[in-house]
């Protein structure tokens, strides 16, 4: 959060969003790994969130707030990329 705040303060919003997406993705993947659940290679927080909710539905509010970050996994890092 501190790094994102510093990036935003420096007018680096795109970079802040990318790092927030990465943090959420890694947290979801760590949760799945801890519970010994396989997941496909993806940056889609919606897919990862669904798998996490199968394990623990109490995460619903937290993961629903993160799902909108999916697009920032690539949008600013790879402008013009052919995928969404």
- Total tally of structural domains belonging to the chain: 1
Half-sphere exposure of 9 (CA within 13 A, CB side): 6
Running DSSP on this structure, what letter comes out for residue 39?
A: -
Confidence band (pLDDT; 50, 70, 90) for 79?
low
Host domain of residue 19 = 2-73
Cβ atoms < 10 Å from Cβ of 29: 16
Answer yes or no: pTM beyond 0.85. Answer: no
Asked if residue 84 has pLDDT above 50, the reply is no
Per-residue confidence (pLDDT) for residue 80, from 0 to 100: 64
Average pLDDT over residues 67-74: 85
Highest-pLDDT range among 9-13, 53-57, 66-70, 73-77: 53-57
Give tens-digit pLDDT for 27-65.
Answer: 999 999 999 999 999 999 999 999 999 999 999 999 999
- The answer to whether position 78 is within a domain reads no
- The answer to whether position 6 is within a domain reads yes
- The answer to whether position 83 is within a domain reads no
Structural contact between residues 40 and 50, judged by C-beta atoms closer than 8 angstroms: no
**CA distance linking residue 1 with residue 9, whole number of Å:** 12
- The answer to whether position 67 is within a domain reads yes
């Amino acid at each position: 959060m501190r790094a994102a705040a510093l990036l935003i303060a420096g007018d680096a919003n795109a970079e802040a969003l990318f790092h927030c997406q990465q943090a959420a993705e890694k947290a979801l993947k760590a949760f799945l790994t801890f519970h010994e659940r396989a997941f496909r290679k993806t940056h889609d927080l919606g897919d990862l969130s669904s798998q996490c909710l199968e394990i623990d539905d109490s995460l619903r509010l937290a993961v629903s707030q993160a799902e909108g970050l999916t697009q920032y996994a690539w949008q600013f890092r790879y402008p013009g990329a052919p995928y969404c």
